Chain A
């Protein structure tokens, strides 16, 4: 299964590890039960081929059925205990000193905000979460439009984002790396293309990243870049997108202040390369049919300037 960056069977966080342990317990129990029942069935059928095998007496049969039922009851109650105990353990992850993130689901992308008591230190990005390794993370989940579900199988199970409610998921990454998550609740046309990455790094690398994200977009340093910014500010982009440090302050699309640092476009649909960016801006409906991003009808020149400018948003 590839590099298993989106797999419940490759846990890299304590929560997913606990679930994975429970899974293997249930898997092996189930396997034993399955094999035992099929063996019993086979023996039952096999005995019929022997001419001397008669019907077992009702009493004998009743004894066996009762025994099998009793074993089932004990096994099931054991599994119930295991399940609830796992739930209790997962709830014990301390949220003190946790990193607070707010994720809002939109059709079909993720807005990510790093909370801070000082509003000016808050950071908004999209479709990509950077998190420190070994520190609990408390993510509050909200939905802008319809129900979505936040799911990074390597780290935890899924929790829904529901309009009018706020949910919480607490997790912790124990191994640095890039993990992939995906919306798990059907949310309309492009439910298939609503992925995101979680980049788990050591805490100093994470702090560096966070500090960098807090800075506004750098001013354009060449005439081409200036005209690129002009396309943003005067064209249709600013109606939906925000680029801090410019006049673009739209709220319906991803924050683009540091878009060039991100690895994918359109919520994990295509890799973030200049070519992909160009064709995405040119005809988003071709790459992600139904996306709320309209075709903008920019001229070839404007498009080039715009892409060049966006490339500088590091």
Chain B
């Protein structure tokens, strides 16, 4: 399936992936980090070390940050022309929706980064076994 603009479909797939991961990845990573931290807090107490918790935070921020950039960049470029043109307003609709998803992804990722960083606070302040 090729679009009439000649833009390869694979590019379009990437854009879709970027937009959807913007919607889903940030908070999912934050939640996964939380479960990881929770489980590893037992290890932290046993070994009296917390470096892996810091590393996890950095990795999580990096992933979500990358997703944010990814989503941000998906907002530019022109949408595909419709395969079944039935609606005169569809082009504008698509453009708006793409921008919206992109902005949504960026904002949600930023909020997720905030949540991730907030979970660093106890690691810094608390002792390993309390």
Instruction: State yes or no: do A and B come from one complex.
Output: yes
Binding site for B on A (CB under 8 A): 73, 77, 80-81, 84-85, 87-88, 91
Residues of A within 8 A of B78 (CB): none
Residues of A within 8 A of B127 (CB): 88, 91
* 22 A–B contacts, CB within 8 A, in A order: A73-B114, A77-B118, A77-B121, A80-B118, A80-B121, A81-B121, A81-B125, A84-B121, A84-B122, A84-B125, A84-B126, A85-B125, A87-B125, A87-B126, A87-B130, A88-B125, A88-B126, A88-B127, A88-B130, A91-B126, A91-B127, A91-B130
Residues of B within 8 A of A88 (CB): 125-127, 130
- Judged by DSSP, the binding face of A is helix
Binding site for A on B (CB under 8 A): 114, 118, 121-122, 125-127, 130
Residues of B within 8 A of A77 (CB): 118, 121
**Which residue, of B118, B125, B127, has the highest number of chain A Cβ atoms within 10 A?**
B125
* Residue on A nearest B129 in the bound complex, by CB: A91
| Closest CB in chain B relative to A54 CB, distance in Å | 26
Measured in the bound complex, the distance between the Cα atoms of B123 and A87 in whole Å is 12
Residues of A within 8 A of B126 (CB): 84, 87-88, 91
Residues of B within 8 A of A87 (CB): 125-126, 130
| Closest CB in chain A relative to B61 CB, distance in Å | 16
| Closest CB in chain A relative to B45 CB, distance in Å | 12
| Closest CB in chain B relative to A302 CB, distance in Å | 53
| Closest CB in chain A relative to B128 CB, distance in Å | 11
Residues of A within 8 A of B118 (CB): 77, 80
Measured in the bound complex, the distance between the Cα atoms of B121 and A111 in whole Å is 39
| Closest CB in chain B relative to A165 CB, distance in Å | 14
Q: Which 5 A-B pairs have the closest CB atoms?
A: A91-B130, A84-B125, A84-B122, A88-B126, A80-B121
Residues of B within 8 A of A91 (CB): 126-127, 130
| Closest CB in chain A relative to B54 CB, distance in Å | 16
Measured in the bound complex, the distance between the Cα atoms of B130 and A56 in whole Å is 51
Instruction: Supply 7 further A-B pairs (C-beta < 8 A) apart from A80-B118, A88-B126, A91-B130.
Output: A73-B114, A77-B118, A84-B126, A87-B126, A88-B125, A88-B127, A88-B130
Measured in the bound complex, the distance between the Cα atoms of B125 and A81 in whole Å is 8
| Closest CB in chain B relative to A15 CB, distance in Å | 13
| Closest CB in chain A relative to B123 CB, distance in Å | 10
Residues of B within 8 A of A85 (CB): 125
Measured in the bound complex, the distance between the Cα atoms of B93 and A94 in whole Å is 65
Measured in the bound complex, the distance between the Cα atoms of B114 and A91 in whole Å is 27
| Closest CB in chain B relative to A22 CB, distance in Å | 14
Measured in the bound complex, the distance between the Cα atoms of B125 and A185 in whole Å is 30
| Closest CB in chain A relative to B129 CB, distance in Å | 9
Measured in the bound complex, the distance between the Cα atoms of B118 and A84 in whole Å is 11
* Residue on A nearest B125 in the bound complex, by CB: A84
* Residue on A nearest B124 in the bound complex, by CB: A84
Residues of B within 8 A of A81 (CB): 121, 125
Residues of A within 8 A of B122 (CB): 84
Measured in the bound complex, the distance between the Cα atoms of B121 and A88 in whole Å is 12
| Closest CB in chain B relative to A130 CB, distance in Å | 28
Residues of A within 8 A of B125 (CB): 81, 84-85, 87-88
Measured in the bound complex, the distance between the Cα atoms of B125 and A85 in whole Å is 6
Measured in the bound complex, the distance between the Cα atoms of B127 and A91 in whole Å is 9
| Closest CB in chain B relative to A284 CB, distance in Å | 42
* Residue on A nearest B117 in the bound complex, by CB: A77
Residues of B within 8 A of A84 (CB): 121-122, 125-126
| Closest CB in chain B relative to A138 CB, distance in Å | 14
Measured in the bound complex, the distance between the Cα atoms of B125 and A87 in whole Å is 9
Residues of B within 8 A of A80 (CB): 118, 121
Measured in the bound complex, the distance between the Cα atoms of B122 and A85 in whole Å is 9
| Closest CB in chain B relative to A25 CB, distance in Å | 16
Measured in the bound complex, the distance between the Cα atoms of B122 and A77 in whole Å is 11
